[in-house]
Structure 1
Amino acid sequence: MKRLCCLLPILATLFVSMAHAEETSKPNLLFLFADDQSYEAVGYRGMTQVKTPNIDRLAARSLSFTHAYNQGSWSGAVCVASRTMLNTGRFVWRANDVYKTAEAERSAGRFWSEHLKKAGYQTYMTGKWHVPANAAKAFDVTGHVRGGMPKQTPEGYNRPQSRDDKTWQPWDPKFGGFWEGGKHWSEVVGDEAVDFLQTAANDPRPFFMYVAFNAPHDPRQSPKEFVDMYPADEVEVPGDFLPEYPEHKSIGCPPSLRDENLAPFPRTKYAVQVNRQEYFAIITHMDEQIGRILKALEESGKADNTYVFFTADHGLACGHHGLMGKQNSFDHSIRVPLLVSGPGIKPGTNPAPVYLQDIMPTTLQLAGIAQPKHVDFHSLMPLIEGKEKTSYDAIYNCYLDLQRSITADGFKLMVYPKADCVKLFDLAKDPSETKDLSADPSYAEKRQQLFATLQDWQAKVGDQLKLDPKLLD
């Protein structure tokens, strides 16, 4: 008995040491999240004039998923749906079902951060949350937790009216918005993430960082030096520019929709240039903060055991197709950048269609957590490791009961129930989605195939909207 008593402290110490070793062997997870950043609005894609040197350096050591999508939204605030899907792991309409009970979901341990907490991770969050659950309870440590968007002002809408319209300037702090509180919100996020990494450098626990910028959401404000990088007259207007999108009212994008009200109707090329000038400027300003965070990660000594993810909650039209917002199913609004870097990740590109919310189960797999039954999205690891070539047979997208789309086999079918029409695009030949093939009889079979796939996906995601096949006639 005496020998056993002597052994007990030793065994206890051994068990603690084993648990500590298991924790420290787990990889760290850094999630960098933008708001409203289209897949084309990153320098490494070479599709626009935007400058993102720090994201580009991250891309050089990452696997880039070139066809990453958001699944859609049940509200005009597309970011709410995107972030609810991300944190619950559920497909769009199932995420909608738990939206009102999100705090109960968190309390039950079914949120992204809660799974990682139980696996021994120290969880951290700063920036935009916009999920109906208590962020302070969802994470061990939080910085500034922001709402949906910085407060807009009347001067920020319906502009510019002309080349002489200088009423609103993105660097002027008197308009509040990103400047509310005295320091630009992107800089606050950068400061707080750097501070956490400096603390984590001396903490043996693995960490999960959820770093969510409000940028580049409107009001697209940044210091003048960043705006001056993009003289408005030199900003390229998208080739698919339209003064108005023909079905804008019937698909839920009228002038009264807040996002669409940012620029005058009908659109002018100059108004689009100014909006894109400010869009690129706030992205470059955010990129500078991301560079600071990545530098702090290197200085912490934790970089070699850290997986870094970068994406956005959805894209943005910002002048494409006569639209300004994200409440549409064109690629510029539903496609996002998605980068993954870390131990064993081979840099390159992967064209497999994925959802940005796939990042959630990917991190769970990396942390050694079995995927919970309620998580609908798929881990990216089989694609990263080359074990699979695809995760999804098609990409489904929705917006309210006004729009549905399905992307498969290089084609996209858009369905507008209220406008009583469909649109069909050959994405390989027409990536800008400007040549509607829906009336071409030689594509009748393709329309039928995609419509059937769309209906299959409606069942997968719990979509109750009945679509009339006569729409194809």
Structure 2
Amino acid sequence: MKNKSLILLGSLLMANALMAAEKPNILFIFSDDQSFETIGAYGLTDIDTPNLDRLATEGASFTHAYNMGAWAGAVCMASRACLNTGNFVWNANENARECTKGTRKSWSQLMSAQGYDTYMSGKWHVGGMSAKKMFDRTGKVRGGMPKQVPAGYNRPKDEADYEAGWKPWDKAQGGFWEGGTHWSEVLADETVAYLEEKADSDKPFFMYVAFNAPHDPRQAPKEYIDRYPLDRIKVPENFIPSYPDQGEGGVPVIRDEKLVPFPRTEFAIKVNRQEYYASITHMDAQIGRILQALEESGKADNTWIIFSSDHGLSLGHHGLVGKQNMYDPAMRAPFIVWGPGVKGGTRIDAPIYIQDAMATALEISGQTPPDYVDYKSVLPLLDGRADKSYDKIYGAYIDTQRMILSGDWKLIAYPQLKKVKLFNVAKDPMEMNNLAGNPEYSETLKQLTALLEETMDEMDDPMTSLEKGDFPQSMKKKSKGH
């Protein structure tokens, strides 16, 4: 009875918070390539993120937020199409074009219809959909990743190569420095200016603020690099020099994977993680500026913040570097909700999708998501109306990888290689002990395989079965990855 009373009280507090103002403001902050392990408050890596830590300690953290994967090497493009259409991965690409045609509404258009001023700045990268047409106003819209120069690949081979080679603070290398001011700082400048302008407005706002960081080229001012001497950096526990199923039919050897030399060395991974952490800490400082501007605008008490990233990044886990794989470091990202009525320090382990941000914002705005939105609001998990959103989590990468997560078990399938991997992620969160060949778990393997194929049908997966590995040629897009 006590627990039920607490749930009811929590529901009432959140309902009252949503009703306190006619329309709460919503600030969505999105990063690029940021793994779930890179929030300092979580203690998973030694990284400085004081402003994201503040959101986590004052808000709610969803510890298992997943991206579904992609139909091409640019995983971020698929992730953002899913986010802005509200559709699962195999339908999002086509429906992004439908939003452009006007036959359905995108996330921002639904917010606009609800009386919100909509604003977007930063990375967009949604094929077939123009940010300038979707939002009332935009700042600088970045089409994709900052330009990476040849010197930024295959490095560092050793200490001498590092000393003589590419440096993340060298503005002559372009990338995030193109234009003279780091792109993360440009985005913060624009966001702060918009918040200052909205201080005197009574109309609610929806802001979509999308950093390119910490995507490569992992650039930041030198003082941020200096905060991470290599003896502070640890390689992941599951680091190996090479992944055995990398190549055609498995994890692709495309652009992301070519940033670090083969075979992987601890030195090369440490340098790349150093630059990754520095980029995140620099971005965190810009988020701090945005939070301060929100406070100074007088709007903070009536504003919800959702923070996430389009997917994670491997960067040494399993000998991999990119995000074109089905392991947790590549598929999981941070997901934090901060706002009126949210109990600080809440941690929710129930699996969700990153793209649940859309349905969550729609519910906060007072509207029921249209039937064509596949993803779910996380508010029922926050206020006690539900203890889970999904019975299973699905993942896919073009025609080479599939994944299903159900309870404690995760299955990764490589249809072209005729190979599967089975992990008990509750006992083995680093996914190091493949149980697929263990007779003791043959029934579990059979059940997960059947569940995956059933889910593929539910998801309109263009691969008709794991046995055949069928996949329409039209979906086999040759991409260098972003």
Tell me the TM-score normalised to structure 1 length.
0.92
Instruction: Work out whether residues 23 and 206 of structure 1, in 8 Å CA contact, stay in contact via their aligned partners in 2.
Output: no
Paired residue for 1:131, among 126, 130, 150? 126
Query: What's the CA shift for 1:186?
Result: 0.1
Match of 1:282, SS state, is: helix
- Name 1:218's counterpart in structure 2: 216
The count of aligned residue pairs is 447
Instruction: Work out whether residues 64 and 338 of structure 1, in 8 Å CA contact, stay in contact via their aligned partners in 2.
Output: yes
Measured in 2, the distance between the counterparts of 1:443 and 1:250 equals 28
Match of 2:417, SS state, is: coil
Deviations 1:46-87 (A, max 9, x none): 111111011001111111101110011101000000000000
Measured in 1, the distance between the counterparts of 2:412 and 2:113 equals 42
Query: What's the CA shift for 1:269?
Result: 0.8
Measured in 2, the distance between the counterparts of 1:213 and 1:40 equals 18
Paired residue for 2:300, among 276, 299, 303? 303
Paired residue for 2:197, among 183, 191, 199? 199
Change (3 A) 1:53 1:113: same
Measured in 2, the distance between the counterparts of 1:331 and 1:31 equals 23
- Name 1:14's counterpart in structure 2: none
Query: What's the CA shift for 1:117?
Result: 0.5
Alignment map for 1:245-256 (pairs within 5 Å): 245-255=243-253
Query: What's the CA shift for 1:266?
Result: 0.8
Measured in 1, the distance between the counterparts of 2:215 and 2:249 equals 22
Match of 1:197, SS state, is: helix
Is 1:312 the counterpart of 2:309? The answer is yes
Match of 1:142, SS state, is: strand
Instruction: Work out whether residues 21 and 302 of structure 2, in 8 Å CA contact, stay in contact via their aligned partners in 1.
Output: no
Measured in 2, the distance between the counterparts of 1:343 and 1:24 equals 10
- Name 1:118's counterpart in structure 2: 113
Query: What's the CA shift for 1:32?
Result: 0.5
Measured in 2, the distance between the counterparts of 1:44 and 1:470 equals 45
Alignment map for 1:322-401 (pairs within 5 Å): 322-347=319-344, 348-401=346-399
- Name 1:33's counterpart in structure 2: 30
Change (3 A) 1:186 1:252: farther
- Name 2:11's counterpart in structure 1: none
Instruction: Work out whether residues 253 and 260 of structure 1, in 8 Å CA contact, stay in contact via their aligned partners in 2.
Output: no
Query: What's the CA shift for 1:147?
Result: 1.6
Change (3 A) 1:253 1:100: farther
Query: What's the CA shift for 1:98?
Result: 2.7
Aligned-partner residue type, residue 130 of structure 2: N
Structure 1 residues not aligned, in runs of 5+? 1-21
Aligned-partner residue type, residue 425 of structure 1: F
Aligned-partner residue type, residue 162 of structure 1: D
- Name 2:411's counterpart in structure 1: 413
Measured in 2, the distance between the counterparts of 1:46 and 1:298 equals 27
Match of 1:320, SS state, is: coil
Alignment map for 1:29-178 (pairs within 5 Å): 29-104=26-101, 107-132=102-127, 133-165=129-161, 166=163, 167-178=165-176
Query: What's the CA shift for 1:148?
Result: 1.1
Change (3 A) 1:326 1:212: same
- Name 2:3's counterpart in structure 1: none
Query: What's the CA shift for 1:372?
Result: 0.6
Measured in 2, the distance between the counterparts of 1:90 and 1:239 equals 35
Instruction: Work out whether residues 99 and 105 of structure 2, in 8 Å CA contact, stay in contact via their aligned partners in 1.
Output: no
Instruction: Work out whether residues 233 and 270 of structure 1, in 8 Å CA contact, stay in contact via their aligned partners in 2.
Output: no
Query: What's the CA shift for 1:178?
Result: 0.0
Match of 2:248, SS state, is: coil
Match of 1:25, SS state, is: coil
Query: What's the CA shift for 1:38?
Result: 0.3
Change (3 A) 1:268 1:314: same
Measured in 2, the distance between the counterparts of 1:150 and 1:100 equals 25
Query: What's the CA shift for 1:109?
Result: 4.8
Instruction: Work out whether residues 125 and 141 of structure 1, in 8 Å CA contact, stay in contact via their aligned partners in 2.
Output: yes
Deviations 1:106-159 (A, max 9, x none): x34510000011111000111000012111111111111002100000000000
- Name 2:206's counterpart in structure 1: 208
Q: Which moved more, 1:183-192 or 1:136-145?
A: 136-145
Query: What's the CA shift for 1:368?
Result: 1.3
Instruction: Compare CA radii of gyration and give the structure with the larger one.
Output: 1
Measured in 1, the distance between the counterparts of 2:104 and 2:282 equals 36
Is 1:422 the counterpart of 2:417? The answer is no
- Name 2:478's counterpart in structure 1: none
Match of 1:458, SS state, is: helix
Structure 2 residues not aligned, in runs of 5+? 1-18, 470-482
Measured in 2, the distance between the counterparts of 1:58 and 1:360 equals 19
Match of 2:140, SS state, is: strand
Instruction: Work out whether residues 123 and 209 of structure 1, in 8 Å CA contact, stay in contact via their aligned partners in 2.
Output: yes
Instruction: Work out whether residues 250 and 417 of structure 2, in 8 Å CA contact, stay in contact via their aligned partners in 1.
Output: no
Measured in 1, the distance between the counterparts of 2:110 and 2:401 equals 34
Query: What's the CA shift for 1:465?
Result: 1.0
Instruction: Work out whether residues 453 and 466 of structure 2, in 8 Å CA contact, stay in contact via their aligned partners in 1.
Output: no
- Name 1:286's counterpart in structure 2: 283
Measured in 2, the distance between the counterparts of 1:454 and 1:385 equals 31
Instruction: Work out whether residues 178 and 184 of structure 1, in 8 Å CA contact, stay in contact via their aligned partners in 2.
Output: yes
Query: What's the CA shift for 1:352?
Result: 0.7
User: After TM superposition, which residue ranges in structure 1, 4 or more long, deviate above 6 angstroms?
Assistant: none
Match of 1:208, SS state, is: strand
Measured in 2, the distance between the counterparts of 1:131 and 1:408 equals 30
Match of 1:259, SS state, is: helix
